[in-house]
Amino acid sequence: MSRYESLLDALGDTPLIGLPRLSPARDVRLWAKLEDRNPTGSIKDRPALAMIEAAERDGTLRQGSTILEPTSGNTGIALAMAAKVKGYGLVCVMPENTSAERKQLLQAYGARIVDSPAAGGSNEAVRRAKELAQSNPDWVLLYQYGNQANADAHYRGTGPELLKDLPEVTHFVGGLGTTGTLVGVGRYLHEHKPGVHVVAAEPRYGELVYGLRNLDEGFVPELYDADVLTGRFSVGAYDALRRTRELLEFEGIFAGISTGAVLHAALAMAEKAVARGESADVAFVVADAGWKYLSTGAYSGSLDEAAERLDGQLWA
């Protein structure tokens, strides 16, 4: 890793870092894959670039095209960078209750932001984006929730990188949003490492996000493949923040809040292995660093205060 022809070429090949202080036993170890070491600082650079390249190959994306995408931040930022470099326009549909930094970054890259209502979270952004795609047929909706190139980016990149660095891997834990990371990495690991556990950590938001939704309108991303996951956790803001701070305190890693939720699930799986007397190597994804969340107050004050401040925000 040293010299690249352009920023886009510097994608991937991220480091895998051992966590000797947070690992619960000598033979039950935790490993963090630092996806913030990507061109725009998040794992979303992988699917964003893969989706753009797939759309270029099949001819839907041409010079001067405008890309449309529902995103709560990182995918939008990744697309905005790639769009800037490659000469496309970008319209992001984003829930209004995401952190200020994400909006500022998108604006810095020249993306146009369409707000979707806070209540309903990402589901509403998806619905709005689909509406906009209908009324603007010349815009190209990449649609990360159903775009196979999203999962493929992890099947071809993140998964093989992980297995190369950690052939003894027993567990993979990642965040659950579009499901692209878990489906792509999970599929690759199941093929090459039979018996591996693939575990999702889903953010559990406050009442505002869930409150108004109807059970019959639940949204399951088209990419989701139920056969890939072997376990799933739902993690609230308090535990996500607690683990985010522990990662910084004990291992020096300054991660975003969703990483705390992932670490919470990774530690639960590690503790289960300890209880059963089994050895384990638990790898998890650090999706991004903490910079974009400083304004939420996640890293200061008491955990209760910080969790309260996050209530009603899409923190992952």
**Catalytic residue numbers?**
44, 258
The answer on whether 177 is annotated among ligand-binding residues is: yes
Contact 279, 28 (CB under 8 A): yes
Question: Buried b / exposed e across 31-40, counting CB within 10 Å, b at 16+?
Answer: bbbbbbbbbb
Q: How near is the Cβ of 3 to another protein at its closest, in Å? A: 30
Report the C-alpha gap between 77 and 291 in whole angstroms.
14
Using the minimum distance from each CB to another protein, give the nearer residue, 28 or 209: 209
From the CB of residue 110, how many other CB atoms can be counted at a distance below 10 Å? 11
Is 116 strand, coil or helix? strand
Of 221, 268, 224, 280, which is closest to residue 242 (Cα–Cα)? 268
Q: How near is the Cβ of 276 to another protein at its closest, in Å? A: 14
The answer on whether 42 is annotated among ligand-binding residues is: no
Using the minimum distance from each CB to another protein, give the nearer residue, 165 or 254: 254
The answer on whether 295 is annotated among ligand-binding residues is: no
Using the minimum distance from each CB to another protein, give the nearer residue, 169 or 176: 176
Using the minimum distance from each CB to another protein, give the nearer residue, 66 or 234: 234
Query: What does R_g of the chain's alpha carbons equal in angstroms?
Result: 19
Q: How near is the Cβ of 102 to another protein at its closest, in Å? A: 8
Rounded to 10 deg, the angle between the 74-86 and 100-108 helix axes is 10
The answer on whether 178 is annotated among ligand-binding residues is: yes
Contact 14, 33 (CB under 8 A): yes
- Which stretch of DSSP H or E encloses residue 281? strand 280-286
The answer on whether 218 is annotated among ligand-binding residues is: no
Q: How near is the Cβ of 296 to another protein at its closest, in Å? A: 12
Rounded to 10 deg, the angle between the 74-86 and 45-57 helix axes is 50
Cα angle 154, 165, 33 (rounded to 5 degrees) comes to 55
Binding interface with another protein (CB under 8 A): 42, 44, 71-75, 121-123, 126, 144-145, 175-178, 180, 202-205, 207, 209-221, 229-236, 239, 256, 258, 264-265, 268, 287-288, 314, 316
The answer on whether 41 is annotated among ligand-binding residues is: no
Using the minimum distance from each CB to another protein, give the nearer residue, 27 or 212: 212
Q: How near is the Cβ of 122 to another protein at its closest, in Å? A: 4
* Residues in binding site for pyridoxal 5'-phosphate: 74, 177-181, 258
* Residues in binding site: 74, 177-181, 258
